[in-house]
Amino acid sequence: MVGLSSYGFAVEASWRLDVTRYRVSPRNWPRDLALRIGVIADVHAGGPAMPTDRIAEIVARTNKLAPDLIVLLGDFAASHKFKTRSVAPEEWSEVLGELRAPLGVHAVLGNHDWWDDLAAQRTRKGPVIGRRMLERAGIPVYENDAVRLRHRGEPFWLAGLGDQIAFINGRSKRGWRKFEGVHDLPGTLARVTDEAPVILLAHEPDIFPSVPERVALTLSGHTHGGQVRVMGFSPMVPSRYGNRYAYGHVVEGGRHLVVSGGLGCSILPVRIGVPPEIVLVDVAAA
């Protein structure tokens, strides 16, 4: 067991950096719109095996893949007890500011970005410091908002959802943490004003059952694939749906979801069977 844990920290979490590729063909996707999206999720800067030079490696590798669009799916902060050293938002945001893509770099926030900001937890409002630093680095952050983009003459929408468990509201009688979100899915989609296809960024995948068919593709992180995954099963997944949305490409009712296994660690400082990954999603008509 000690040897396996050592491998999970010293090898898989610290040294591996995989590129996982998906091809997604949503229903009614425009034939002339072929889009390659680079996905970075759950950096957890300052957490185990995530100093600034590791983030710089991730940035350089992502840029080398030359995606049309790069999306950041939240949890930039490492607000847990396994921080190896503090990496200030000013530091990690500056490194992420080196990402480059023709259609830009776009971000949403995760729960740890809210939990790490004690002032936001106290006042029950943002913007959190992570958002301010990302925007200072030139990266727009979407919280229940959307932007219309165009690729090779074809328009599409990129929508970003506010975090679903942004505030910690104490504990239940059974000892479970209670949360409150800042997400507004109807309000987010109300920002979409024409019939161009929609890609939704949502840190936690638990929103997916509520996502309408109008959304061609949902991209999420948060779960880390469970951090320990054996033969397609993760014993512990931070989702009310368990393994249903733990990892990978999910299709339900013609709707597509891709869940990244992420890059950093949370709760346990190990990864076994789900190495850190950059995700590359090719979206095209069938």
Candidates 90, 16, 106, 72; CA nearest to 222 is: 72
16 lies in some domain: no
Q: Which residue type, as a one-letter code, is found at position 37?
A: I
Q: Which is more confident, 226 or 222?
A: 222
Count structural domains, the chain.
1
Q: Can you give the pLDDT at residue 231?
A: 82
Using the predicted structure, report yes or no on whether residue 87 has a pLDDT greater than 90: yes
Residue 94's domain spans which residues? Answer: 2-10+24-283
The per-residue pLDDT for range 106-120, each reduced to its tens digit, is 999 999 999 999 999
pLDDT reported for residue 188: 99
* CB distance 181 to 174 below 8 Å: no
In a domain, 234, yes or no: yes
CB atoms under 10 Å from CB of 147, counted, come to: 15
Within 10 angstroms of residue 127's Cβ, the number of other Cβ atoms is 14
Pair of tokens at residue 86? 């503090």
The per-residue pLDDT for 49 is: 87
Report the distance separating Cα 32 and Cα 65, nearest Å. Answer: 22
- CATH number of the domain encompassing residue 160: 3.60.21.10
Lowest mean pLDDT of 65-69, 168-172, 198-202, 234-238, name the range.
168-172
Q: pLDDT value at position 266? A: 85
38, part of any domain? yes
Position 237 in a domain: yes
What is the rounded radius of gyration, in angstroms, for the C-alpha atoms of the chain?
18
At position 163, the amino acid (one-letter code) is: D
Q: For residue 81, name the pLDDT band (cuts at 50, 70, 90).
A: low
Q: What is the pLDDT of residue 175?
A: 65
Reference 96, options 77, 114, 68, 112; nearest CA is 77
54 pLDDT band, cuts 50/70/90, is very high
Q: How confident is the model at residue 280 (pLDDT cuts 50, 70, 90)?
A: very high
**Residue 249 located in a structural domain:** yes
Distance CA 232, CA 250 (A): 13
Give the integer Cα–Cα distance in Å for 190 and 161.
Answer: 12
Q: How confident is the model at residue 234 (pLDDT cuts 50, 70, 90)?
A: confident
Distance of CA 246 to the CA centre of its chain: 13
Query: CA 42 to CA 62: how far, in whole Å?
Result: 15
Residue 207 reports pLDDT greater than 70: yes
- Residue 6 has a pLDDT of 45
Q: What is the pLDDT of residue 4?
A: 44
In a domain? residue 17: no
pLDDT the model gives residue 79: 66
Q: What gap in Å lies between CA 83 and CA 48, rounded to an integer?
A: 6
pLDDT in tens, 129-147: 999 999 999 999 999 999 9
**What is the rounded average pLDDT of the residues 248-262?**
98
- Across 60-71, average pLDDT: 99
Q: Where are the beta strands (DSSP E) in 7-95?
A: 18-24, 35-40, 69-72
Q: In this structure, is residue 18 part of a structural domain?
A: no
Residue 178: pLDDT over 70: yes
Q: What is the pLDDT of residue 177?
A: 79
Name 146's bridge partners: 159
**Is residue 189 situated within a structural domain?**
yes
Q: What pLDDT shows up at residue 13?
A: 61
